[in-house]
Each structure stands twice: as C-alpha cells, then as structure tokens.
Amino acid sequence: MNSLRLEELKKAVLFPQKENQKNVRLSPAFERPNRGPSKPAVSKSFLLLFFKKEVLACLFLFAAPAYADTLRPAIAKPLQAAEHYLSQGEYAQAEKKLALAEAVPGKSADETFTIGQVRAAIDSGRHDYAAAASDYASLIGSGELSSDQISLMAEAEASDDYQAGDYAGAIRTIKAYLSGDPRFTPILLQSYIKTNDCAALDAYVTRQARPTEANLQMAAYCDATTKNDAAYETMIEKLVKYYPSPAYWTQLLGLAQSNPAFSDQLALDFFRLKLAAGVAATEPEYMDMAQTALQGGLPNEAAKIMAQGFATGVLGSGPDATRQAKLKALVQQRQTAAAPAADDAASKFLAGFNQVDGGNAAGLGPMADAIRSGQLAQPGQAELELGIAYDEAGQKANAKAMFAAVQGGDGAADLAKLWSDLK
C-alpha cells in the first residue's frame, strides 16, 4: 500500500500510553476546585468530583444531618471516615473504613448503593480502572440514579474502561449513554482503532456532514494498519476534499498513480493536476513532462512547465543545468514557429488546447467541436482535457460540468474526479 508514513500519522492520531492515562479527562465541571469542596446539604446525596492531573478519584461528600437520616450510624460513621481518607488520598485507610460498612448485615438498598459509590471512589482514586468501571456499571444498573446521574456515572465508567484497556467496554458505554457527548468522541474513535474495528470508525466518520480532520486521520490510520486499501483511499479523498493540502494530495496522487487502470497516455494530465494541487515535482518530472508536451504539439504547455521548474529552483542549476537550458530554448523556439495546419479532429483539438495554454480562451471552441465530431480516438481523455482547459481559462462551472461528464475505463474518469476535488 502506498500509505502515509504510518509513524507520522500515528503520532497525529494516537496518544502515547502514558499520555492516555493523564489526558483522558471528564468535564472541568467535575474537577476538584483548588479551594476545596464544600459539603452539600441534600439528603442521600454526594458530589462526584475529580482530582486534577493524575488522580481521577471520586470524592463523595455527605451532609451530616441528611446523611444520618438516610443511613444507620453503623454504616454512616465508617463511610464518613472513608470520605475523609479519600480527600487525603489515603486509599488503604479508606478501604479499611469501607470494609466496616460493608460488614454490617441487613443493609437497605440506600445503604448498599451509597457503599457502592464509595467503593467506586476508592477504586478510581487508586487507579484500579477495571474495578472502578465495574463499580460504575453496577451503580448505573441499580435503578437508583436519575438520567443526569447516569450520564455522570457513564462518563466515569467510559474513562475507566478506556484506561483499563477495555476498549470494547468503553465503546459499549459511550454508545449506550454518551453518544451525543462530543467530549467522548475521541475516546470512542480511538477505542475503535484499538479494537481494529475500522468499519465502525469509517461508518461514524462518513455519517458526519463535514468530518473533522482529526477524525478522518484516525479513520485513515485504522484502514492503513489493517491494510484496507479501498477504505484508506476513500478517507484520503475526504481529507483532500475537506482539508486540501500538498501533503494529502501527494498521498492521493500516489495511490491513484499506482492504479493499473490509469493509461500512460494520461501522464501529462496527471502531472498537470500535480502542479495545480501544489505538489512538488522533481527535476526528471519537469524535464520529461516538458518534452512530452512538446512532442505532443503543446509548446505553450511545455513552456509553462519549464517556467515553473525554473521558478521553483528545481531547474536551472546542478550538473544538468546546460541540458535544461537547451530544452528551454527549444521550447521557446517551438512557441514562435508557425503551427501546422489543423485538418483532422485530433489536430484541431491540440491546436485549441495549445491556444488555451497560451492564454487564449478562443481555443475552447475548436476543442469542443473536435469532441462533438466523434472522430477522436480517446474521447474520455479529450473530455478530461477540455475540463482542464476550462479550468485554465477560469471557467470553473464549465470545468466542473465537464469533469462530471467524463467517461471511460482508461482512468480518465477517475482523474476527472480528482480534478473536481481540487479547490
């Protein structure tokens, strides 16, 4: 596969493992304030907060009067002590106090639920992500939570699933409870990558009216690593369409050029697109394509190619500078020479194209007439080149319509589609 250098794309797509554990964070609304939290005065309630930086622990803060009304002292007191140790980051001590509450027999549903909250806080705080995710799943399934509370618990469960390496679990949680939360889109998509579920990732990206560049990069990376050439090319095409750059065009043109369906006769048209897309060309390419244009009866095209080669500094220096200067002189000589009589359709088409290359839009008429005559050996390529001529003449609407009309199995239609994507 002619793919983007995977290490570069990987760097743009995947977080290193250590960074994963630091950067997968929930909403800032649930981060612990620097000034310290205050206790709420609501019955059977707690505040779910998250430490900044590396500590993703839940602190459950209970208002004493309401807390006492809800839970028996044998459970309330050790849980209050556990909350204190949680706030200090002393998880072993918090665990001991929690064990005292768990040992009390005959617990009510409220008591069991509240113990589960503290258990989740301890497991998350000590970075036992798999256990914490399981704790949150149990709380969600308890039937004790409002829809808003379920969303908060799901956020914690999805984050812990991801950090525990349970990417399938993260996917399930996000799809079930957080599908409309854009904060969790990166975790969802990277979980698809981690599980090699590129089809689901591609489907997600394709459903977006305008996919983000990062999402398209992730899909392209996934398809490249699983060697799905067709899907990979589709994502590169979308990157070119929505976020055109020479780098993406280089990749897309490389993929297209490797397609055996492309005829060698399209080499000059391919090179035209390469230059129009801002993709860098080499000295041999400039020289070969200038000679191809010259031999094909398009001295004005050859002159443009040589001029760009010299302007970019690719031509005009080095060991082949003399040969390059000679070709430039030959091109200029051919430009001033009288054009041969254009009697047949092919000659009329080339003469018209050369006019357009020289800045004279009057050549568009003879080109169109030659196509309508039905006498051209490669009508698909001729339609493609008429579209290119319209584009050169600044007639963008006509160019787009012409590109859409190109047919044929020699690669001309595929190349016309790429020209249509050019901004």
pLDDT tens track for 100-155: 999 999 999 889 999 999 999 999 899 999 999 999 999 999 888 889 989 999 99
pLDDT at residue 400 in the model:
95
Q: How remote is the C-alpha of 199 from its chain's centroid?
A: 14
pLDDT exceeds cutoff 60 at 29: no
Is residue 396 in some structural domain? yes
Q: What is the pLDDT of residue 144?
A: 84
Average pLDDT over residues 74-80: 94
Q: Which two tokens stand for residue 161?
A: 């699933």
Residue after which a domain boundary falls, among 133, 153, 179:
179
Domain boundary among 179, 196, 225: 179
At 422 the pLDDT is 86
CATH number for the domain including 68?
1.25.40
DSSP 264: G
Q: Nearest CA to 354 among 295, 279, 277?
A: 295
> Is 38 in the same domain as 147?
yes
Q: Spell out the residues 6+ positions from residue 248 whose beta carbon is closer than 8 angstroms to its own.
A: 236, 239, 240
Query: Which pLDDT score, from 0 to 100, does residue 423 have?
Result: 67
Q: Are residues 277 and 408 in the same domain?
A: yes
Q: Do 163 and 275 share a domain, yes or no?
A: no
Same domain, 161 and 294: no
Same domain, 38 and 152: yes
Interatomic CA distance for residues 275 and 254, integer angstroms: 14
Q: Within a domain: residue 222?
A: no
Q: What is the residue range of 309's domain?
A: 270-421
Q: What 3-state DSSP class applies to 113?
A: helix
- Amino acid 69: pLDDT: 58
CA distances from 371 to 63, 350, 405 (A): 84, 11, 12
221 assigned to some structural domain: no
Instruction: Count structural domains, the chain.
Output: 2
- 27 and 157, same domain (yes or no): yes
Give me the percent of the chain exceeding a pLDDT of 90. 72
Instruction: State the CB neighbour count (10 A cutoff) for residue 152.
Output: 21
Q: Domain end: 179, 199, 231, which one?
A: 179
Report yes or no on 12 lying in a domain.
no
The answer on 282 and 167 residing in a single domain is no
Q: Is the domain of 174 the same as that of 311?
A: no
Q: In this predicted structure, what is the pLDDT of residue 70?
A: 77
Of 304, 201, 225, nearest to 1 by C-alpha is: 225
Distance of CA 366 to the CA centre of its chain: 44
pLDDT at 61 over 60: no
Residue 20 pLDDT class (50, 70, 90 cuts): very low
Long-range contacts of residues 228-235, Cβ cutoff 8 Å, at least 24 apart: 228/198, 229/1, 229/255, 231/198, 231/199, 231/202, 232/1, 232/3, 234/202, 235/202, 235/205
CA distances to 24, 28, 154 from 50, rounded to whole Å, are 12, 9, 14
Distance CA 80, CA 89 (A): 14
Chain centre distance of CA 285? 31
Q: Is residue 347 part of a domain?
A: yes
Domain membership of residue 317 (yes or no) is yes
Reported as half-sphere exposure (CB side, CA atoms, 13 A), residue 240 has a value of: 26
Nearest to 174 by CA among 159, 196, 164, 193: 159
Question: Mind listing the pLDDT tens digit for each residue in 311-368?
Answer: 999 999 999 999 999 999 999 999 988 677 778 999 999 999 999 999 999 999 999 9
- In the block, tokens 């939290």 appear at 37
- Work out the pLDDT band at 302, boundaries 50, 70, 90: very high
pLDDT (tens digit per residue) in 197-248: 999 999 999 999 999 999 999 999 999 999 999 999 999 999 999 999 999 9
Q: Classify residue 344: in a domain, yes or no.
A: yes
Same domain, 163 and 291: no
Answer whether residue 31 is part of any domain.
yes
Buried b (16+ CB within 10 A) or exposed e, 332-363: eebbeeeeeebeebbbbbbbbbbbbbeeeeeb
